[in-house]
Structure formats: C-alpha cells, structure tokens
A and B are shown apart, each in its own frame.
Chain A
Amino acid sequence: MTSHTTTPLEYKTQQSQMNILGFWIFLGAEIVLFSTLFASYFVLEHNIAGGPAGGDIFVLKDVLIETFLLLTSSFTSGLAIHAMRNHDKKGLLIWMIATLLLGAGFLYMEINEFLHFIHEGATIQTSGFTAALFTLLGTHGAHVTFGIVWISLLLVQLVRRGITEKTSSKLFIASLYWHFLDVVWIFIFTFVYLKGMVM
C-alpha cells in the first residue's frame, strides 16, 4: 500500500498490518488468560492441604537464573528485530538463534525445577496450591516451548526466502510474542516466587 521510506518493511502490505494488529488483539486475549491464571493462583495459594507451601519448595538461585535467561533472550530478540530493520539477515539470524538458545536454557531450568518440586513432594495433584502453581508455570512454559518451535520454523523460512515483506512481518510478530512471555515471567517472578518466599 503505502511505500514511505519510513514505514518498516514488516508494515508494508495491508495484510501485514492486519496481521500485526490481529496479533496485538490476540495478546490482549492472552493477557486475560494469564490474568485468570494469576487470579486463580491467588485464590488457591494458601490451600496447601497439608502439602508443601511455596516457601518450602522455591529455590531462589534457580529462579534468578531462569529470570536472567529469559530477560536476556527478550533483549536478544529485540536486537534481532533491529538487525532485521537494517536488512542484516546474518545479524537477524544470529540474534534469533541466541534467543532460541536462551529460551531453551530457560526451559531446561524450568523442567529441572519441576522435577525438584516433585521430589519435594509437590506434584500437580497434591493440593489446590500446587495445581494452580504447576498450571500457571506450565502454561507459561508451554508458551515458551511453542515460541521456540515457531521461531525455528520461521528461521528456516528466513534462510530460504531472505528478509521479505512476509518473513519480516512474521518474525516481528514472533518477537512481540516473545516479549510478551517475558512480561508474563516478570509477574510470575514477582507474585509467585518473591511473594511465596517472603510470606
């Protein structure tokens, strides 16, 4: 449609614009989804039914590493989009791969953490609290997993097709998704881990 030199590539076609807007609205729905998960968690937080409470099972060090990995990955995905805007295919590829590796590291830590919880006697079936905890963390983790697979597939397309109107808008949307997961994690870090360990 419009071809101002200032319009970023990913916004060039009307369909891309609609895709990006649509994705923002989808993120709105995701916010409602995570809000519901958080609200339920707050309702069930103290229903430990004789099982372990948050403070008993959380390990601060691991959580800090997870947070570091995910925050860094958000930063690298930002660098990737910056490279994309400069038509730097190689930079885009490298930073996206870095993002993926950091994401995978986060997942590895999270799976370990889950195993640790189970080892401490907190399975998803233990209590109202553990059900809400595992579901909230698990939903976030599932999103990260989905994101990793999705971005990998997009990188295959990028290698094949280069930075085009289509691939750029796809990668831009994926980066929005990735930033969103980061924001959700900040809330999890604050309201699940810190709150659980302080209280």
Chain B
Amino acid sequence: MGKRNVFDLIGPIMVGPSSSHTAGAVRLGTMARRILGEEPVRGTIILHGSFATTGKGHGTNLALVAGLLGMEPDDERIPEAPKIAKERGLNFTFETADLGDIHPNSVKFDLFGRNGCHVEVLGSSIGGGSIVIREINGFQVDIKGDYPTLVILQQDLPGVVAQVTFLLATAQINIAHMRVAREKKGAQALMVLETDQKIDEAVLGLMRKLPKIYQVLAIESLE
C-alpha cells in the first residue's frame, strides 16, 4: 500500500459487513474478471482459510460473484449477486480447500469466459479492502490493482522483454514495477508490468504483433 491519505481512513464507500471479507472479495472478483479478459460464464470458486470458515456470514460468496459480474464494492445489488448470475445463465460453484501456506483470506478462481477463454487466478484480501493477486495460471505474480497492469505471456528468449519495454518507452509510458517469471528455461514466461500511465489500444495492438509474444492482457487499476 502506498502512502495513506484521508480517504483511506474515511472511506471507501462500501456494502458491509467487512472491508476484508466483503469489499476485498468484490475486488478479487473484479480482478479475476479483468484477468480473464471477458465475461466469465462458468467456473469454480475455491475458498481458503477464513474465507472458507467465516465467509458465509460475511457474504463473501455473494461478494465474489458480484465482482465477477462487474459490480463495484458499493453496489447495493451485492446481496442478490448469485440470483442475478443465475438469471443471466451464469454458473459458479463454490468449494473449500486448503490452498497451502497463504494469507487466510484467499480464494482461487477457475473461470471460463463467454468466448472460451480460461484462466486460473489465486488472490488474497489483505485488509481494509486491499487485495493482491498471487498467481495467474500457476505463474507467481504480485498484482495489487493500484496501477494499470500489463500481463504478457511470452517465450523465454533474449530480447523479448526489451522489445516490450522499448514499445512502452516510445509511447512515453513509465514502468513503476516489473516482474518476469518462467516455467523453465526457454519455455513460456510471464511478464507483469505496472505502469504510471494507462496503455491505449494502439500500443497494445503493436505489442500483440511482436514476435514470441503469445498473449497480452491490460488490466485497469481498481477505482
């Protein structure tokens, strides 16, 4: 979390009862939807730790679905989210599991989208409504949603990162944080870049045409 300001202490405006178990859960759903890159139509939501044990009374299930539907944490339809999902023909099922040595307020989404996209996202609600995405499709990441974020799936080869950063530099986009992780040497790698400026479609289009780049995903910052 960056330096605090008055609106971190009086705010956010949200639907209760818990900033971590409700507002944070909505934001985790929102991030999972954005990482999928299209409307999720079905999937499994796996609750871990305190999400699994006290989630029911906090409306965590409702909040996670609300986020997947694209609602904000202050949307008063959150309690009706599963009903709305059903009306739209969407099907999300809940499971509980021990996901290992991670934050007690954690959830794993296994989502399928309208056009057939599939993604697995693991995230945690770390207090006061703040969240962090820990894993995308098994790749370790650290995305808090504070910045516009680029997630790029590429081949692990020399120069691939450079061509992306060169493109960003040309577009006057400054990189705030950056992380590259790979499956194994020479195989697929995942690059996560948090930027100070929003990245427009033209730049994304150019990026998608670069060699050895398989997938480019731009995630808007939360709020």
| B and A form one assembly | no
Binding site for B on A (CB under 8 A): none
Binding site for A on B (CB under 8 A): none
